[in-house]
Structure 1
Amino acid sequence: MSQPDYESYPPLFRPSSVNPNHGGVEKESPEMEAAEGDGVPIIDFERMREDEEKVKEACREWGFFRLVNHGIPESLMSQMLESARELFSMAYEAKQAAFNSAAGISYFLGTAGLTASGAALASSNLNWMEGLNIPLSKVPELHYEDPMLESFRSLVEEYGKHQTKVGKAIYEALWRKLELETSNLSKYEESTKYFSEDTEILRVYRYPRCLEANRAWGVEEHTDSSLLSILHQDLVGGLQVYKDHQWIQVNPIPNTLIVNIGDMIQAISDDKYVSVKHRVKVNKENERISMGYFVFPGDDVVIESSKYKPFTYAQFRAQVQHELKSVGFKIGLHNFKRP
């Protein structure tokens, strides 16, 4: 275990700033524990057409699966993690200064769910996490004079292309093989209106060491607002998924991806597939790096469902923002349920 450079940590995450009552979690709370041995379904990207039933079962029973043979070069995945570690090792103030463009890569602290950083810092449920929010459609337009930042940008551009390919293939498989048909939407050709490459985001996270790891969450229990989320994590571990009334530890396995169904797939599938609850536990001894690819419907695209009142993704996002600021947690789809 190497000694971390606490100058790179946000001030609230440095040892002298640890609040023993952070997040209100009791130190020995059993809620922090999770079952060993994850049992997460494994899907071979190269065999998705042949393994239709396996994909269907994974999405129906878990809403969550591990993807192998995804085609993203292992060297690129390793470079992304190493480059992220290098960026996060910058002094806290330098990170804030380097990523201050709303149109490009932006720095966030505590939660990516709030657009106002002040609201995130004021939250009593501050997550033990910092990150970079990267709209992939903007990356080709960016340029940094700093060689380290430009190298990272270049890696992100290449990595994003691979993630787009994987994400589109999975989304197509959901419609082609899983028959996500509603009374309002039954044709695959029509379903493509929901998947918008303009909305693709890559979020890169660092979960700093936390000396009182049982008193904080890296990310608290939540569902993703996306259509799909694809996670690439290092080998530290901490991701947990809720299955059969218990939390299960998702073991990190090299060169694999974790895919989960988001709220938008739940809505357009008429609840046939449920957006899975998951969370991240922090580590007392090691930092954790992960990166998530998210894709959403376009802001003005109307989500059609027999279970939910019609809504646009812009309306859904605004509602979630309001919930996070007003009650401190996401309610999400429940507020759009039909009577």
Structure 2
Amino acid sequence: MEVPTVSLVIPPSNSIPAEPPKIISAKMLAESASLTSAIPSAYYFSEDSYELADPNDPEFQLPAIDFSLLTSDSPDQRSKMLHELANICRDWGCFLVTNHGVTESLKQAMIEAADRFFNLTEEEKHNIAKKYEADPTQIRYGTSYNARSEKVRLWRDFIKLRLHPDFPTLNENDGYSEVAMKYSKKTREIATELVEAISESLGLDPNHIYKALDLDSGVQFLLANYYPPCPQPELAMGLSHHTDQCLITILTDNDVSGLQVLHNHKWVTVTSTPKTFLVILADQMQIVTNGKYKSAMHRGRVNKEAKRISLASLHGPSFETLVTPSPELVEREGKAPLYRSIKYREYVELQHRSRMDLKCALDQILI
């Protein structure tokens, strides 16, 4: 998989601001009195191998799927949408979803709950995560990606909760867990329908991928990202280029744009639109389809004017599931498997190491 080139931005030495005292979060830095017009050099980040797409170029118009037609009882409507879905998954690996049935009030409640969490004190946020430190896959709160070992920090804070099969409680009085449970149930229903439709679009039984990856026991995470306003957004990065490690991601935000997807060697800015989800195919989808459907490369940019809160509902196999290219697809296509079989837990660990080394995990399991 081709990935963007990352380089460090090194301005003249007299323009590099002094490093701040120990900063626990990007939000704390953004709100600190010491931050005026220049960010610390620890946040200088540049990806310069691909240019931005022209938003008026039809080639770079992000495709959309009408979920109500995809799940229609009309065979003709469904057949047409499945054909469109197949082309989109092959060419883009991501698409917008409309008429999905999740109310704006539920989405807004989840955004507001995330905002309340990020407005807690640093001590309160870390104490919540500390309750589950014996199993950090339950809850993880932090800043950047891995601030302890990174050479360059990302302009974001995050909280990641595992919502299925086990559901942790942050604080029984804050309302976060309650609304997260309702939100995750709805997004899980959408993900299940989409995975079934994707199976059908491949000419397979609707339950093929679902059963092959044992998604009944699969993991679901809710990742909330907080990107504070940045005085120098051209120098900083909210979330560097990556593909998701799971099977499928359902994404929304607080109607502040910032996500970009890589398509035909150009970055396409996704315009945030109310009542719409962005669906991103992830690495396990590329593996199980033997490369027929691709995992979409994407990144998060920041801006000067407004905070951005994004919610990513990440759906994947259970950690002990052995993921392999579908034998049915391999036989039908007459192609050899492109990827070796790997347990999902091992892949997650591989991807974590690969991101720290700026490598692509999928490339490392190619046969």
Shorter chain as denominator, the TM-score bin is 0.7 to 0.9
Tell which deviates more after alignment, 7-16 or 275-284. Answer: 7-16
The residue number in structure 2 matching 1:313 is 344
The residue number in structure 2 matching 1:226 is 246
Structure 1 residue 60: deviation in Å? 1.2
Give yes or no for contact 2:43–2:236 (8 Å, CA) kept in 1. yes
How big is each residue's C-alpha offset from its partner over 1:156-203, in whole Å with a ceiling of 9 and x where there is no partner? 0111110110000000111122336xxxxx884475231244411111
How big is each residue's C-alpha offset from its partner over 1:26-76, in whole Å with a ceiling of 9 and x where there is no partner? 9xx696855325611110111112411111111111111000111112210
Give yes or no for contact 1:108–1:131 (8 Å, CA) kept in 2. yes
Unmatched runs of 5 consecutive residues or more in structure 2: 1-22, 71-77, 326-336
TM-score normalized by the length of structure 1? 0.84
The residue number in structure 2 matching 1:266 is 286
SS in 1 for 2:246: coil
Q: What does 1:170-189 align with in structure 2 at a 5 Å threshold?
A: 170-179=194-203, 188-189=207-208
Is 1:61 the counterpart of 2:91? The answer is: yes
Give yes or no for contact 1:139–1:156 (8 Å, CA) kept in 2. no
- Rounded to whole Å, the distance in 1 between the matches of 2:85 and 2:341 is 28
Give yes or no for contact 2:262–2:296 (8 Å, CA) kept in 1. yes
The residue number in structure 1 matching 2:189 is 165
The residue number in structure 2 matching 1:116 is none
SS in 2 for 1:205: strand
TM-score normalized by the length of structure 2? 0.78
> Which residue, 99, 121, 127 being the options, matches 2:148?
121
The residue number in structure 2 matching 1:323 is 354
Q: Residue 129 of structure 1 aligns to which amino acid in structure 2? A: R
The residue number in structure 2 matching 1:109 is 143
Structure 1 residue 133: deviation in Å? 0.7
Give yes or no for contact 1:9–1:91 (8 Å, CA) kept in 2. no
- Rounded to whole Å, the distance in 2 between the matches of 1:35 and 1:323 is 31
Is 1:334 the counterpart of 2:331? The answer is: no
- Rounded to whole Å, the distance in 2 between the matches of 1:307 and 1:7 is 42
The residue number in structure 2 matching 1:203 is 223
Q: Residue 172 of structure 1 aligns to which amino acid in structure 2? A: E
Structure 1 residue 270: deviation in Å? 1.0
SS in 2 for 1:229: strand
Give yes or no for contact 1:200–1:294 (8 Å, CA) kept in 2. yes
Is 1:255 the counterpart of 2:286? The answer is: no
Q: Percent identity between the aligned chains? A: 26
- Rounded to whole Å, the distance in 2 between the matches of 1:92 and 1:9 is 11
Give yes or no for contact 1:22–1:124 (8 Å, CA) kept in 2. no
| Number of residue-to-residue matches in the alignment | 314
Q: Residue 320 of structure 1 aligns to which amino acid in structure 2? A: Q
The residue number in structure 1 matching 2:67 is 45
Ranked by relative contact order (alpha carbons within 8 Å, sequence separation 6 or more), the top structure is: 1
Structure 1 residue 242: deviation in Å? 0.8
- Rounded to whole Å, the distance in 2 between the matches of 1:196 and 1:40 is 31
How big is each residue's C-alpha offset from its partner over 1:122-163, in whole Å with a ceiling of 9 and x where there is no partner? 302322111111111366552624x2x2x1110001111101
Cα RMSD between the aligned structures? 2.6
Q: Residue 321 of structure 1 aligns to which amino acid in structure 2? A: H
- Rounded to whole Å, the distance in 2 between the matches of 1:127 and 1:244 is 25
SS in 2 for 1:192: helix
Structure 1 residue 98: deviation in Å? 2.9
SS in 2 for 1:217: coil
Unmatched runs of 5 consecutive residues or more in structure 1: 1-5, 112-118, 181-185
